[in-house]
């Protein structure tokens, strides 16, 4: 490796350190103060319209990524040149880095919501870059020396590695802050009609809350870290087998007619008696209306929903158009969706398990055929069709608890989303099944609570529950595992009465 290649690499490593350090400092000074984003933002704002349109045409929705990658390539070339020049005349290195730091600082300070310290990430990054470049140019000054070369490579590798790791961590934290701020600033539109008032008597004492608070709502997804989506950049594309492909932005979505509905979501992985189920008040726009506008072609029997992180689910087109309140949802229990539950936009479909219907962080809807596309969980052994199975659960008394003899109220939940629960029965040991009292409910799209006053006698007892839906189907006793399309069987608990 000759001297000038080493010098060039030193320049690139120093630039990497500058960017990495800047990303870390930006965690404190604000998301938009990191130089890469700040400079990118200035370019986007100042570039003439036709150029922007051309970029969008060429790069599609990846135009912002293309901008960042382009900037990185230019920067690498610049940094390489600075390294080479600095090896000959040190002051050129210092001046080159200073210029680079200044561009970043000015760009950051002129962003519209710049904080008072917006210049700091660029300046701190530049200062550290000067030091790193100085060290690296000094290392292995004698190229013939084997030991010097090894030290040099180690130094470059270490600097670049730390810079990339630190920068990535910083970026993750700043994007989380930015999205948190954007979420706090969201003003949800009012629904077309006021939400249905919760009737008195939906809640049975000691049973899981009828409405699950957001913080306790079960969470299931494949995301190691939930996608952080700034709503101002969010878009939903409806395309595929449609006559009118549609793209809507966050602003456009919020202007659409909104409704608010209680819908109980359930996971196909929920075991009999399990708690991967929750009920919330969702605010959203009926997906049916958007699909009507897109005008699906005959034969497009599957609506594939795709999330920002590439996860997919496939929903029968007919289900989304049959009149049920399937929502492109933006609100959950009166708040913008929590990030973990799909902010800014997700789907909620009454009656279908989440893995075939409830795409969080949704960015794309593609009309296709079940015969042509398998969504994420299908090749992994789960059924392409996932209607929620009729189920019931005993919440009180809890398994293994001790109670005194006398009246013990047995209570729990039962669900048959979009069909409705008609009857719940309880069985004590091998006695005949006895009918429980059904609590009030909002609609057939939510679970329903029930209670049964049991005259408990001393000893150990097995309690079982089974539900019947409004079609007259009674929950099957035959146990089935969760895969491929949902568990069945009766929930039983054993309790001790003293």
Q: Is residue 359 close enough to count as binding Mo ion by CB under 5 A?
A: no
Q: Is residue 271 close enough to count as binding ligand MTE by CB under 6 A?
A: no
Q: Is residue 349 close enough to count as binding ligand MTE by CB under 6 A?
A: no
Among 32, 267, 388, 428, binds ligand MTE (CB under 6 A): 267
Closest C-alpha to 217, from 383, 313, 333: 333
Q: Is residue 220 close enough to count as binding Mo ion by CB under 5 A?
A: yes
Q: Is residue 221 close enough to count as binding ligand MTE by CB under 6 A?
A: yes
Please list every residue from 318 through 337 that binds Mo ion, using CB under 5 A.
none
* Contacted entry of ligand MTE, Mo ion, none for residue 341, CB cut-off 5 to 8 Å set by kind: ligand MTE
Q: Is residue 231 close enough to count as binding Mo ion by CB under 5 A?
A: no
Torsion of CA 400, 402, 406, 412, to 10 degrees: -40
Provide the 10 A C-beta neighbour count for residue 73. Answer: 10
Binding track over 458-497 against Mo ion, x by CB under 5 A: ----------------------------------------
Among 151, 219, 256, 403, binds ligand MTE (CB under 6 A): 219
* Secondary element (H or E) of residue 24: helix 3-29
Q: Is residue 354 close enough to count as binding Mo ion by CB under 5 A?
A: yes
- DSSP string covering 32-78, please? GGSHHHHHHHHHHHHS-HHHHHHHHHHHGGGHHHHHHHHHHHHHHHH
Binding track over 311-330 against ligand MTE, x by CB under 6 A: x-------------------
Residue 192 CA: distances (Å) to CA of 248, 254, 257, 331, 422: 20, 12, 6, 14, 30
Provide the 10 A C-beta neighbour count for residue 419. Answer: 18
Q: Is residue 341 close enough to count as binding ligand MTE by CB under 6 A?
A: yes
Distance of CA 471 to the CA centre of its chain: 35
The single residue listed with the structure tokens 């990535």 is: 168
Minimum Å gap between C-beta 212 and ligand MTE is 9
DSSP E strands in 317-418: the ranges are 327-332, 335-336, 346-348, 362-368, 391-396, 402-403, 406-415
Among 128, 359, 413, 416, binds ligand MTE (CB under 6 A): 359
Residue number of the CB atom closest to Mo ion: 267
Residue number of the CB atom closest to ligand MTE: 354
Minimum Å gap between C-beta 413 and ligand MTE is 16
Torsion of CA 264, 265, 270, 272, to 10 degrees: 20
Number of chain positions touching ligand MTE (CB under 6 A): 18
* Contacted entry of ligand MTE, Mo ion, none for residue 256, CB cut-off 5 to 8 Å set by kind: none
Among 127-135, 203-211, 357-365, 404-412, the segment contacting ligand MTE (CB under 6 A) = 357-365
Cβ proximity to ligand MTE: between 81 and 223 the closer is 223
Minimum Å gap between C-beta 361 and Mo ion is 15
Among 152, 355, 361, 376, binds Mo ion (CB under 5 A): 355
Contacts of 393 (CB under 8 A, 6+ apart): 272, 273, 274, 412, 413, 414, 465, 491
Q: Is residue 117 close enough to count as binding Mo ion by CB under 5 A?
A: no
Cβ proximity to ligand MTE: between 25 and 348 the closer is 348
Residue 425 CA: distances (Å) to CA of 283, 344, 428, 460, 467: 33, 41, 10, 20, 6
Distance of CA 218 to the CA centre of its chain: 13
Cβ proximity to ligand MTE: between 156 and 238 the closer is 238
- DSSP string covering 391-455, please? EEEEEESPTT-EE-SEEEEEEEEEE-TTT-EEEEEEEETTSPPEEPEEPP-S-TTS-EEEEEEEE
The residues facing 280 across adjacent strands are: 263
Closest C-alpha to 174, from 19, 364, 278: 19
Cβ proximity to ligand MTE: between 265 and 290 the closer is 265
Q: Is residue 307 close enough to count as binding ligand MTE by CB under 6 A?
A: yes
Q: Is the dihedral of CA 138, 142, 145, 149 positive or negative?
A: positive
Please list every residue from 253 through 282 that binds Mo ion, using CB under 5 A.
267
Minimum Å gap between C-beta 347 and ligand MTE is 8
Q: Is residue 134 close enough to count as binding ligand MTE by CB under 6 A?
A: no
Minimum Å gap between C-beta 338 and Mo ion is 17
Q: Is residue 111 close enough to count as binding ligand MTE by CB under 6 A?
A: no
Q: Is residue 331 close enough to count as binding ligand MTE by CB under 6 A?
A: no
Minimum Å gap between C-beta 483 and ligand MTE is 12
Minimum Å gap between C-beta 215 and ligand MTE is 12
Alpha-carbon span 404 to 206, nearest angstrom: 16
Cβ proximity to Mo ion: between 188 and 220 the closer is 220
Q: Is residue 414 close enough to count as binding ligand MTE by CB under 6 A?
A: no
Residues lying near Mo ion in the complex (CB under 5 A): 220, 267, 354-355
Residues lying near ligand MTE in the complex (CB under 6 A): 217-223, 265, 267, 307, 311, 341, 354-355, 358-361
């Amino acid at each position: 490796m000759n001297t000038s290649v080493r010098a060039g690499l030193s320049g690139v490593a120093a630039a990497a350190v500058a960017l990495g350090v800047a990303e870390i400092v930006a965690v404190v000074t604000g998301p938009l103060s990191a130089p890469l984003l700040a400079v990118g933002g200035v370019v986007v704002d100042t570039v003439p319209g036709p150029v922007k349109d051309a970029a969008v045409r060429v790069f599609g929705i990846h135009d912002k990524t293309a901008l960042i990658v382009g900037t990185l390539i230019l920067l690498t070339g610049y940094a390489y040149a600075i390294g080479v020049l600095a090896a000959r005349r040190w002051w050129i290195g210092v001046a080159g880095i200073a210029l680079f730091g200044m561009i970043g600082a000015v760009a950051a300070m002129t962003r519209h919501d710049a904080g008072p310290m917006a210049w700091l990430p660029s300046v701190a990054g530049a200062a550290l870059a000067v030091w790193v470049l100085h060290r690296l140019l000094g290392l292995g000054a004698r190229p013939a020396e084997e030991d010097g070369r090894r030290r040099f490579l180690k130094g470059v590798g270490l600097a670049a590695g730390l810079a990339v790791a630190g920068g990535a961590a910083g970026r993750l934290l700043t994007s989380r802050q930015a999205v948190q701020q954007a979420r706090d600033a969201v003003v949800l539109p009012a629904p077309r009609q006021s939400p249905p008032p919760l009737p008195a008597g939906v809640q049975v004492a000691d049973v899981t809350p009828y409405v699950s608070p957001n913080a306790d709502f079960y969470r299931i997804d494949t995301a190691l870290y939930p996608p952080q989506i700034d709503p101002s950049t969010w878009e939903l594309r409806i395309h595929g087998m449609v006559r009118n492909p549609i793209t809507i932005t966050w602003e456009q979505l919020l202007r659409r007619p909104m409704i608010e509905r209680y819908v109980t979501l359930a996971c196909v992985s929920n075991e009999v008696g399990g708690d991967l189920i929750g009920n919330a008040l969702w605010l959203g726009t009926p997906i049916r209306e958007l699909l009507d506008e897109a005008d699906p072609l005959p034969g497009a029997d599957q609506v594939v929903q795709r999330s920002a992180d590439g996860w997919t689910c496939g929903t029968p087109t007919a289900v989304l158009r049959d009149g049920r309140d399937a929502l492109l949802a933006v609100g959950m229990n009166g708040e913008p969706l929590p990030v973990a539950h799909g902010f800014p936009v997700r789907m909620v479909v009454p009656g279908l398990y989440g893995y075939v219907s409830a795409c969080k962080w949704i960015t794309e809807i593609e009309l296709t055929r079940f015969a042509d596309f398998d969504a994420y969980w299908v090749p992994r052994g789960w059924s392409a069709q996932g209607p929620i199975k009729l189920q019931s659960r005993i919440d009180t008394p809890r398994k293994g608890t001790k109670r005194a003899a006398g009246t013990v109220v047995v209570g729990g939940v039962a669900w048959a989303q979009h069909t409705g629960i008609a009857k719940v029965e309880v069985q004590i040991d091998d006695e005949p099944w006895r009918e429980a009292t059904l609590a009030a409910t909002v609609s057939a799209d939510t679970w329903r609570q029930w209670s049964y006053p049991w005259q408990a006698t001393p000893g150990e007892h097995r309690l079982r529950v089974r539900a019947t839906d409004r079609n007259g189907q009674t929950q099957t006793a035959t146990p089935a595992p969760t895969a491929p399309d949902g568990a069945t069987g009766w929930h039983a608990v054993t309790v001790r009465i003293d």
